[in-house]
């Protein structure tokens, strides 16, 4: 019988507004959570206001993020962005995982630049020392310690490189397709058919490869990556909407505006007016 463990590690940075304006991104909260078997936790899209990374420590749980679902065990990692509904359920007697939530004007751009999938296996074992140091830094309020905490987060992300672990025969295909999508997002003709033709595989094979990696379909990945790039350019640059539309693969800026409004609830210009991005449902 497992001994009951109580975790109340909810380290809030309590960073002053003045400090936030001097940081590209910062840690909102970090801690350890333990969920009992059968327990379910849900967050709606409107409740999910921050980027969140979870790192499995022991046990197993099932995580659903925006419709993509996977079982997360020890050294398994899951990642969600603002505006994405998520659901967590413990499968083992106790499922323990560490989380970090990030905010700031460039938080999305920083995390997205790593190109991580929603679910992956860490390159190295759980970096307990890094997380312990992060806890110490997040318990202080100075700008110096908060900037150091941000640096620790980058080190943790380096340890979370799931693409370094081959976990299926389709790994190379998925990795290459993901890179191809990133390099060709500005092409309005980028489609699943074009990708299949380029890699000389069928659509069925492409879909199967993505299913084995617990990723949305290739077509959905194109849309998700275009949305990710749009967020990055809207919040991280001063480029006009017309140029952002072109870089995201939309020949018609009006179509781009409708795409953003459906996804984020606001037009590109309305999003830009908000220093810290929020994503209504």
Tens of pLDDT, residue by residue over 23-69, are 889 898 898 999 999 889 988 877 778 899 999 999 999 999 877 88
- Whole-structure pTM value: 0.57
Q: Looking at the predicted structure, is the pLDDT value of residue 153 above 90?
A: yes
Question: Who has greater pLDDT, 66 or 177?
Answer: 177
Angle at 276 between CA 270 and CA 281, to 5 degrees: 60
Mean pLDDT across 111-129: 84
Domain with CATH 1.10.10.60 in the chain: 171-272
CATH fold of 171-272: Arc Repressor Mutant, subunit A (1.10.10)
* CA torsion angle 157 163 167 173 (round to 10): 150
Domain with CATH 2.60.120.280 in the chain: 11-164
Say yes or no: domain 11-164 is CATH 3.40.250.10: no
State pLDDT tens for residues 179-228. Answer: 889 889 999 999 999 999 988 889 999 998 888 777 889 999 999 889 98
Sheet holding 76-80, edge to edge: 11-12, 26-36, 94-103, 51-58, 76-80, 119-121
Question: Who has greater pLDDT, 15 or 179?
Answer: 179
CB-based burial label for 2 (10 Å; 0-12, 13-18, 19+): exposed
Q: Looking at the predicted structure, is the pLDDT value of residue 86 above 50?
A: yes
Contact call for residues 236 and 106 (beta carbons, < 8 A):
yes
Q: Looking at the predicted structure, is the pLDDT value of residue 107 above 80?
A: yes
256 Cα distance to chain centroid: 22
Share above pLDDT 90 across residues of the chain, in percent, rounded to a whole number: 36
Share above pLDDT 70 across residues of the chain, in percent, rounded to a whole number: 88
pLDDT of residue 77: 93
pLDDT of residue 2: 34
Q: 183 CB contacts (<8 Å, ≥6 apart)? A: none
């Amino acid at each position: 019988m497992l001994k009951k463990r109580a975790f109340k590690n909810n380290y809030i940075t309590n960073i002053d507004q003045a400090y936030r304006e001097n940081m590209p991104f910062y840690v909102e909260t970090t801690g350890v959570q333990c969920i009992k078997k059968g327990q379910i936790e849900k967050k709606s899209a409107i409740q999910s206001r921050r980027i969140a990374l979870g790192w499995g420590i022991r046990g197993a749980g099932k995580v659903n993020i925006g419709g993509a679902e996977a079982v997360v065990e020890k050294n398994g990692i899951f990642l969600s962005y603002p505006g994405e509904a998520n659901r967590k359920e413990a499968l083992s007697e106790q499922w323990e995982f560490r989380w970090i939530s990030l905010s700031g004007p460039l938080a999305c751009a920083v995390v997205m630049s790593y190109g991580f999938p929603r679910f992956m296996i860490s390159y190295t074992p759980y970096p307990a020392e890094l997380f312990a140091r992060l806890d110490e830094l997040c318990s202080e309020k100075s700008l110096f310690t908060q900037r150091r905490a941000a640096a620790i987060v980058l080190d943790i992300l380096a340890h979370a490189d799931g693409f370094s672990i081959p976990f299926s025969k389709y790994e190379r295909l998925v990795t290459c397709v993901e890179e191809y999508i990133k390099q060709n997002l500005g092409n309005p003709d980028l489609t699943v058919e074009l990708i299949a033709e380029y890699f000389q595989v069928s659509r069925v094979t492409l879909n199967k490869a993505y299913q084995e990696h617990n990723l949305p379909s290739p077509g959905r990945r194109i849309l998700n990556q275009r949305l990710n790039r749009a967020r990055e350019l809207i919040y991280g640059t001063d480029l006009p909407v017309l140029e952002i539309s072109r870089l995201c693969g939309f020949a018609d800026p009006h179509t781009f505006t409708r795409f953003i409004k459906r996804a984020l609830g606001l037009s590109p210009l309305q999003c830009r007016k908000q220093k810290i991005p929020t994503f209504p449902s």
